[in-house]
Amino acid sequence: MQNKNFRRDINGLRAIAVIAVVLFHFNASWMPGGFAGVDVFFVISGFLMTGIIFKGIEQEHFSVLKFYVARANRIIPALAVLCLSLSVFGWFYLTPIEYEALGKHIASSVTFLSNMVYWKEAGYFDAASHEKWLLHTWSLSVEWQFYILYPLVLVALCKFMSIKAMKYLLLIGTILGFILCIISTYKWPNPSYYLLPTRAWEMMMGGIAFLFPFQLQEHKKKLMELLGIALILASYIFISAENLWPGYLAIFPVLGAFLLIQANRQNSVITNNVVFQKIGTWSYSIYLWHWPLVVAIYIFALSEEYLYLGILLSIILGFLSYHFIERIKFQNDFTHVLSYLKCKPIYCSGLLCLIGILLFSKQYDLMPFRLSNEEIVIVEQQKRDPREAFCGNVVNGISPECKYGTGPVKAVVIGDSHSQAQNMAIGERASLAGGSIVSFGLSGCPTIKNSYSYDEKHKIADDNCGKLIANAIKITAQKYPNIPIIVINRNSQYLFGHNENKDFHLKPPVNFVDQEFDQRNAAYLENISAHMINTLCEFSEHHQVYLTRPTPELITDVPKTMFRRLALHQTAQHLKISREAYMQRQQVAFDIQNKAVQRCGVKLLDPLPYLCDSQYCYGDKNGIPLYFDDDHLSTYGSKLVAPIYDEVFQ
């Protein structure tokens, strides 16, 4: 039986929010700004929570603990079932690295800290986000953090001021929160997206809708509702992931939700139709279950037809989750402090947190129990140089100068993550020759003196990479005179962008030296190529420089793809790209290297005979991945090509 105070318009607004989020996640082109549906949810939550708290305070029976337990009963059960389901699924279909990440994310989700975890990881719209099964729980964490602080603040304030004064203080706080959001989003976009301080105003805006209700005639209510819907839909259609968010643009969906709530039209054909009422009722569960389906379609590389099936399954799972999980009533008598410990969802959170910590900390100990020998062989190649993080920790252009191998230094290796991936194997070859290597490596750093890496979102030009190369020129000349230098770079990335991201080439170039470019045109290629050659020639003034030909980029993550084929009992097939595709991608990089050979006498080292035949370049050999992802050589792959470096140590 429905509560007489049940707001059908708000229930319909939930449907408008969740539909947008689901469509955006399954295919962003369907609704480019659909992520703003989360902002609509925040407004709804703020309205409802403010109502509960202020009514309780005014009637002098509000209990913070009861409020917390009620929220836990509402949110945790369905979330706990989702996390447990993913744990079981992951046991069979995820690699140890993925399962470890899942464990970490389960623990952070059920403790409502996931927004902080994801803030530290890749941005919400990055490609890597599509491999995080619980990414969408960041918004639940923001809400829960608001639920914890909001009642405490209001209860404290009511001790010192009147209800009327509190209302106006909340209004002022909302305005200040919006200003903070605008400033912070421009300066620090990633934390602003995920963290409570820049999201609280959206929930407080919902509180303002409760505290300052409009008294309107019916025809004005209709106009207000239509205006609210128009603002929300406009944000869904005209805003996209390219915009800084939340920022000032968030006012559109937030104000739209505010106006629709203020309109308070309980018999609106827009929000009170059967479809929207059902979807609104199931919206929380639909939201919970839809994202893992998006991730599954992505990581298993399923065809477009599965997007439509995923949407249908989201609704079905949302319906089942609502009826069999959300509707469970947890009774607490609250007669004494110990009665709060009867709140079963709290036990669910604690148990799942322990499971998450176990998966995170003991993943590799669990491998023999859940993986076949063939799968273990594959996932072992996902392991990377344990010193990579330390050795690549370049600050203000200063490198740790990590040493690999034993004996005197016989070569210096300079480059980006492609060089870091080969350091151990090159060091082993140096050891066989009675020596060692020193590494100057930084991920995403082209070997270009005084270059900059421009961060569009943060609006900064980072000179750390350019300083590293400039320092390397000086240090190697002084400290390692006449010692050969090996340069390994993924130059195609700096020239044309990541080939695993089909739209990356459309973005402005990230790296530049003396001038910025809006596009990767002929002028940009000529400019960046000249600086690459000049830097190599400057190194060659004091050293014999060796250039490694570009590593083939497979586009597909090799170990993950091989692992999933085994897990799904699919026929094993070589992962490969044609040599023609390789040459087309690398032609400009080849030209740069060839010009450096002519101008400065650098020498070339070619890994292709070990990775390719006359037609194809392969991602695996003898059932073992040659890469630890799509473009970095694995331990096996780097050892396979390492003999090309023997001539350096002769």
pLDDT of residue 365: 60
pLDDT of residue 371: 80
Task: Please tell me the distance from the alpha carbon of residue 271 to that of residue 268, in angstroms, as a whole number.
Answer: 6
Average pLDDT of the segment spanning 160-180: 95
Residue 379: inside a domain, yes or no?
no
Residue 380: inside a domain, yes or no?
no
If asked whether residues 343 and 396 sit together in one domain, one would say no
If asked whether residues 150 and 279 sit together in one domain, one would say yes
Tell me the two tokens of residue 316: 């079905």
Beginning with the edge strand found earlier in the chain, give each strand of the sheet holding 436-441 in spatial order.
Answer: 402-405, 436-441, 409-415, 485-488, 545-548, 603-605
Average pLDDT of the segment spanning 531-559: 94
Residue 124 has pLDDT above 80, yes or no: no
Residue 18: inside a domain, yes or no?
yes
If asked whether residues 314 and 450 sit together in one domain, one would say no
Average pLDDT of the segment spanning 69-96: 88
Average pLDDT of the segment spanning 464-482: 93
User: pLDDT digit string (tens) for 561-584?
Assistant: 999 888 888 877 889 999 999 999
If asked whether residues 36 and 175 sit together in one domain, one would say yes
The whole-angstrom distance between residue 227's C-alpha and the CA centroid of its chain comes to 34
Residue 162 has pLDDT above 50, yes or no: yes
The answer to whether the CB of 604 falls within 8 A of the CB of 593 is yes
Task: Please tell me the distance from the alpha carbon of residue 599 to that of residue 601, in angstroms, as a whole number.
Answer: 6
Tell me the two tokens of residue 219: 């025809």
Task: Please tell me the distance from the alpha carbon of residue 190 to that of residue 129, in angstroms, as a whole number.
Answer: 13
pLDDT of residue 32: 96
Backbone angles phi, psi at 333, to 5 degrees: -85, -20
pLDDT range class, residue 352, cuts 50, 70, 90: low
277-281, 440-444, 546-550 — which is least confidently predicted?
440-444
Residue 368 has pLDDT above 70, yes or no: no
Residue 1 has pLDDT above 50, yes or no: no
pLDDT range class, residue 301, cuts 50, 70, 90: confident
The answer to whether the CB of 616 falls within 8 A of the CB of 576 is yes
Residue 21: inside a domain, yes or no?
yes
Average pLDDT of the segment spanning 80-88: 88
pLDDT range class, residue 644, cuts 50, 70, 90: very high
Q: Which residue type sits at 246?
A: P
Residue 115 has pLDDT above 90, yes or no: yes
pLDDT of residue 259: 97
Task: Please tell me the distance from the alpha carbon of residue 264 to that of residue 271, in angstroms, as a whole number.
Answer: 10
The percent of residues in the chain predicted with pLDDT above 90, rounded, is 65
Domain of 628: which CATH number?
A: 3.40.50.1110
Residue 219 has pLDDT above 70, yes or no: yes
Residue 63 has pLDDT above 80, yes or no: yes
pLDDT of residue 456: 58
Query: CA separation (Å) from 429 to 92, 435, 543, 545?
Result: 38, 9, 20, 18
- Who's near 590: CB < 8 A, 6+ residues apart? 549, 550, 583
pLDDT range class, residue 358, cuts 50, 70, 90: low
**Residue 180: CB atoms within 10 Å:** 15
Average pLDDT of the segment spanning 257-286: 95
User: pLDDT digit string (tens) for 207-216?
Assistant: 999 999 998 8
Average pLDDT of the segment spanning 446-469: 81
Could you tell me the maximum CA-CA distance found in the chain, to the nearest angstrom? 90
Backbone angles phi, psi at 87, to 5 degrees: -60, -45
If asked whether residues 177 and 222 sit together in one domain, one would say yes
Residue 425 burial by CB count (10 A; 0-12/13-18/19+): exposed, middle or buried? Answer: buried
pLDDT of residue 351: 63
Tell me the two tokens of residue 453: 């890496």
Residue 240 has pLDDT above 90, yes or no: yes
Average pLDDT of the segment spanning 48-70: 90
pLDDT of residue 110: 86
Tell me the two tokens of residue 139: 């918004």
Residue 585 has pLDDT above 90, yes or no: yes
The domain tally of the chain equals: 2
Residue 349 has pLDDT above 70, yes or no: no
pLDDT of residue 330: 60
Tell me the two tokens of residue 156: 């404290």
If asked whether residues 357 and 402 sit together in one domain, one would say no
pLDDT of residue 111: 87
pLDDT of residue 29: 93
* Containing structural domain, residue 14: 8-368
If asked whether residues 356 and 419 sit together in one domain, one would say no
Residue 206: inside a domain, yes or no?
yes
- More reliable by pLDDT, 122 or 281: 281
Residue 398 gets which letter from DSSP? B
pLDDT of residue 77: 86
pLDDT range class, residue 97, cuts 50, 70, 90: confident
Residue 335 has pLDDT above 60, yes or no: no
If asked whether residues 363 and 392 sit together in one domain, one would say no
Please list the residues that pair with 197 across neighbouring strands.
none
Query: CA separation (Å) from 566 to 98, 100, 569, 572?
Result: 16, 19, 5, 7
Residue 381: inside a domain, yes or no?
no
pLDDT range class, residue 123, cuts 50, 70, 90: low
User: pLDDT digit string (tens) for 422-432?
Assistant: 999 999 999 99
Tell me the two tokens of residue 261: 């709530």
CB environment 15-36: b (16+ within 10 A), e (fewer): bbbbbbbbbbbbeeeebbbbbb
Q: Which of 320, 338, 368 is the last residue of a domain?
A: 368
Average pLDDT of the segment spanning 272-287: 96
- Who's near 390: CB < 8 A, 6+ residues apart? 400, 402
pLDDT of residue 353: 61
- More reliable by pLDDT, 460 or 11: 11
Task: Please tell me the distance from the alpha carbon of residue 531 to that of residue 22, in angstroms, as a whole number.
Answer: 46
User: pLDDT digit string (tens) for 378-410?
Assistant: 888 888 899 998 998 999 889 999 999 888 999
Average pLDDT of the segment spanning 113-119: 93
User: pLDDT digit string (tens) for 488-517?
Assistant: 999 999 998 887 665 555 567 777 777 788
Task: Please tell me the distance from the alpha carbon of residue 611 to that of residue 614, in angstroms, as a whole number.
Answer: 10
pLDDT of residue 340: 46
Task: Please tell me the distance from the alpha carbon of residue 97 to that of residue 390, in angstroms, as a whole number.
Answer: 20
If asked whether residues 106 and 135 sit together in one domain, one would say yes
Placement of tokens 């001038």 in the chain: 515
The whole-angstrom distance between residue 485's C-alpha and the CA centroid of its chain comes to 36
My answer on whether omega of the bond before 253 falls inside 30° of 0, hence cis, is no
Q: Which of 310, 335, 368 is the last residue of a domain?
A: 368
Residue 375: inside a domain, yes or no?
no
The answer to whether the CB of 106 falls within 8 A of the CB of 355 is yes
pLDDT of residue 319: 96
pLDDT of residue 510: 77
Placement of tokens 């992962």 in the chain: 575
Residue 78 has pLDDT above 60, yes or no: yes
If asked whether residues 564 and 619 sit together in one domain, one would say yes
The percent of residues in the chain predicted with pLDDT above 70, rounded, is 90
Residue 1: inside a domain, yes or no?
no
HEC string of 521-548?
CHHHHHHHHHHHHHHHHHHHCCCCEEEE
If asked whether residues 265 and 341 sit together in one domain, one would say yes
- Who's near 39: CB < 8 A, 6+ residues apart? 202, 246, 250, 253, 254, 257
Q: Which of 306, 333, 368 is the last residue of a domain?
A: 368
509-513, 544-548, 598-602 — which is least confidently predicted?
509-513
pLDDT of residue 580: 95
pLDDT of residue 211: 96
Tell me the two tokens of residue 524: 């940009």
If asked whether residues 162 and 281 sit together in one domain, one would say yes
